[in-house]
Chains A and B, each alone.
Chain A
Amino acid sequence: MLIAAGALAVGAGVVPSVLRQPRTGAAILPGAADARLASDAAASPRRGAVVDLPGLEHANLRIACATCHDTREPNPLNAAAADLYLFHQGLVVRHGALTCLSCHNPSDYGTLRLAGGASVAFEASATLCAQCHAPQAADYERGLHGGMTGYWDTSRGERLRKSCIDCHDPHAPAMPAMRPTFKPIDRFLPPREEHR
């Protein structure tokens, strides 16, 4: 069904109106074996492009990468989303000097590629991240980097650990600016409107 939808989009020459970049699978690092990864707990597979086609808004069609990439020659010169005209519009890439093929595997878009050429599953993307971010990876293995939920005492219950890409968008990994939404209302601050 995914393939059918993809063929529809490509065959009709339709440019998807909205493109949300999906979050890919979880990561597995040695030392994190005591904990399940939060992204593993999510029920649905998350790979591929999610598109809303014209006339089918919010249909949430998920189109596997290989639908298109199996039949197209990879172009190593493509370095930014702006270079592409199908499916990747609006994708913000702000990740050092990396290009698409620094991480994506041109011989099998269903996997990622390490610097040495070995392919690695999306679920193990942390291994890929760790190539450059060794201090963070070492901290992650010790439980000193990355959020978690569940139990501090894993003999009593399960702990869910977040993977790299649960918090960092792999295409623009810097933590986004946030706005504090919750502030104590101090008695010595000016009274609120309704109390004046």
Chain B
Amino acid sequence: MSEQRRIELPVLGGVSRRTALKGVGAALGVTAFAVAVSPLRRVAGELTADEYFQKHYKELDEREKEAVLARLQEAAREEAGRNDITVSDDPPIPGVKFAYAINLSVCNGNGACVEACHRENNHDRDTNQSYIRVLELPRGSLGLDGADSTYTHEVPAPDKFYMPVQCFQCDNPPCVKVCPVEATWKEDDGIVVVDYDWCIGCRYCEAACPYHARRFNWKAPRVPAEEVNPDQGYLSNRIRPAGVMEKCHFCLHRTRRGRLPACLEACPTGARIFGNLLDPDSEIRAVLRHKRVFVLKEDLGTEPSFFYFFDR
């Protein structure tokens, strides 16, 4: 963080730090309460009975799931005024466990992956939201205290290296354990997903994730109709309601149909490698076999499905 950067909450101008902190506490308390009761608040508003009585994703039978998908698809089409939007729900592929690797010798921090994620996943245009954050770190260090993700200068800068961070789809995910309503869970192909219609927005998972990989929708994402990605998934990139958590899902609406994730296709340096960890001939297995890989904060025991390596 540079010294000249002004850091303050947008809502609290010209108050002392002490009052500000009190204010923050009060504001967060009120916000948390408001969000916690939001289903009740909304039921009086535009929420329909179908939406209110929708069951947890895992409890939906096939017929109910189809009805939910049809309803969401209809709403998405109406909202954007486009008839090409589909909301699907691709199941995990049996015998597939996804894993990702990034070559840090090659990544130059240009951020094309960040933008590709933004467009693919129908992120809010006002905030440039994305599931990926590229950290700029001093060479020879993995201390995240010195990391900066806000750089705008030409890359690669001298004596720096770049580390994209997104959800690591941990095998021992702390975010899943802390969810009080089981709105987030790990699927059979290793992807940690969120049921946006079940999430109460308490943000425990955001606090539990040691990688800062989860995002909160402070407001409903605003995407111009012509920019909406029409290929949407229930557990992935459909436009989320306000007040729910979201996170990288390895582009499951693409990868569960055999396609590569959007961030990988966008990378102009070829630093990203994706594949099936259970296939001994896959590229991701070749990484593990031929490169010295590491995972971030290994000591925490989160067991990420996301590896970093250097060529040299």
Contacts and interface: CB of A to CB of B under 8 A. Distances in A.
B163 to A, nearest CB: 14
A183 B269 contact: no
A177 B114 contact: no
Chain B contact surface mostly: loop
A178 B154 contact: yes
Contacts of B275: 152
Contacts of B224: none
A180 B155 contact: yes
Contact of B257 (A156, A159, A178, A184): A156
A167 B269 CA distance: 7
Nearest to B289: A142
Interface in B107-146: 108-112, 114-115, 118, 126-130, 133-134
Nearest to B116: A182
Nearest to A153: B258
Contact of A144 (B130, B149, B259, B273): B273
B150 interface: yes
A117 interface: no
A184 B128 contact: yes
A181 B115 contact: yes
A188 B290 contact: no
A190 interface: yes
A1 B5 CA distance: 61
A156 B126 CA distance: 36
A144 B103 contact: yes
A143 B286 contact: yes
Chain A contact surface mostly: loop
Interface string A147-183: 1111111011101001000010000000101111111
Give the interface size class of chain A: 35 or more
B267 interface: yes
28 contacts: A139-B311, A142-B283, A144-B287, A147-B265, A148-B264, A148-B265, A149-B260, A149-B265, A150-B260, A151-B258, A151-B259, A151-B260, A152-B260, A152-B275, A159-B260, A167-B268, A175-B108, A178-B154, A179-B155, A180-B134, A182-B111, A182-B112, A182-B130, A184-B114, A184-B127, A184-B149, A188-B7, A189-B7
Interface of B: 5-10, 103, 106, 108-112, 114-115, 118, 126-130, 133-134, 149-156, 218, 255, 257-260, 264-265, 267-270, 273-276, 282-283, 286-287, 290-291, 311
